[in-house]
């Protein structure tokens, strides 16, 4: 019944709009190719989001928790909270840059080195297959940047991060060890500083392209905000 869908969608959107927007730059943003997009996110510009997208995000979070349970069941000493019961994470630059991790593995089977960061993602079949074939660095630069910053700021740089991805269509799992890259971590950290300083100085950073028909610009959720900032009307 469409009436049920309409009711669920309305309540999901209502709940989303009532939630407090993050007032910091998240580590998960910094691998995006477009500094303007990251900056607009940091500036808390509103973009339209569908109820279907919200459902997809919610399902992804539930599946990530399920994978963590499987890891514990398999004998990994996985901890998702610190000794104070808080989610593992970091906060620097007076709280202007933060990150929260899925968990830290402190022990387990001897084919891994511990402690190590655990990052869990869920993907559709096309995205998962591409990542399994070509690796996170090539196919998922946002995730690569994310884990490099986590390893750097949480002091988990000695051992590779265990990146685990679930194929939501087939339930297959892909695992990849991502070594710490100090140069990359510094580059992303410098980028965060650049975005924070530019925003505080009311400076807009460059867009990934000046071509309005560039495919990434046409697909960007912040397109209308970006065009308005540039004084362009479609």
What is the per-residue pLDDT for 168?
96
In tens, the pLDDT along 79-111 reads 988 778 788 889 988 899 999 999 999 999 999
Q: Note the pTM of the prediction, 2 decimals.
A: 0.91
Domain ranges within the chain, ordered by starting residue: 22-229
Contact 163, 176 (CB under 8 A): yes
Reduced to 3 states (helix: H, G, I; strand: E, B; else coil), residue 186 is helix
Place of tokens 């530019």: 198
Helical residues (DSSP H) of 82-181, grouped into ranges: 125-134, 136-139, 141-153
* Domain 22-229 belongs in CATH node 3.90.320.10: yes
Packed helices 35-42 and 182-200: angle between N→C axes, nearest 10 degrees: 60
Bridge pairing between strands 78-79 and 89-92:
unpaired
pLDDT at 184: 97
Q: What is the predicted pLDDT for the residue at 134? A: 98
pLDDT for residue 155:
96
pLDDT beneath 70: ranges in the chain: 234
User: Residue 119 has what pLDDT?
Assistant: 98
């Amino acid at each position: 019944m469409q009436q049920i869908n309409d009711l669920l969608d309305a309540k999901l959107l209502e709940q989303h709009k009532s939630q407090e927007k993050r007032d910091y730059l998240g580590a998960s943003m910094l691998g995006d190719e477009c500094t303007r997009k990251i900056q607009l996110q940091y500036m808390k510009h509103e973009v339209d989001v569908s109820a279907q997208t919200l459902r997809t995000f919610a399902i992804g979070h539930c599946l990530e928790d399920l994978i963590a349970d499987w890891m514990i069941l398999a004998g990994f000493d996985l901890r998702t909270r610190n000794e104070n019961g808080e989610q593992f994470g970091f906060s620097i630059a007076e709280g202007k840059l933060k990150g929260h991790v899925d968990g830290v593995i402190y022990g387990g089977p001897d084919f891994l080195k511990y402690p190590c960061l655990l990052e869990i993602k869920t993907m559709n079949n096309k995205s998962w297959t591409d990542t399994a074939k070509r690796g996170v660095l090539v196919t998922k630069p946002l995730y690569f940047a994310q884990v490099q910053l986590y390893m750097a700021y949480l002091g988990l740089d000695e051992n590779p991060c265990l990146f685990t991805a679930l194929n939501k269509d087939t339930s297959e799992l892909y695992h990849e060890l991502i070594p710490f890259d100090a140069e990359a971590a510094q580059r992303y950290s410098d980028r965060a500083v650049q975005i924070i300083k530019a925003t505080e100085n009311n400076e807009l950073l460059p867009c990934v392209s000046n071509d309005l028909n560039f495919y990434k610009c046409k697909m960007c959720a912040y397109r209308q905000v970006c065009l308005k900032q540039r004084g362009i009307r479609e």
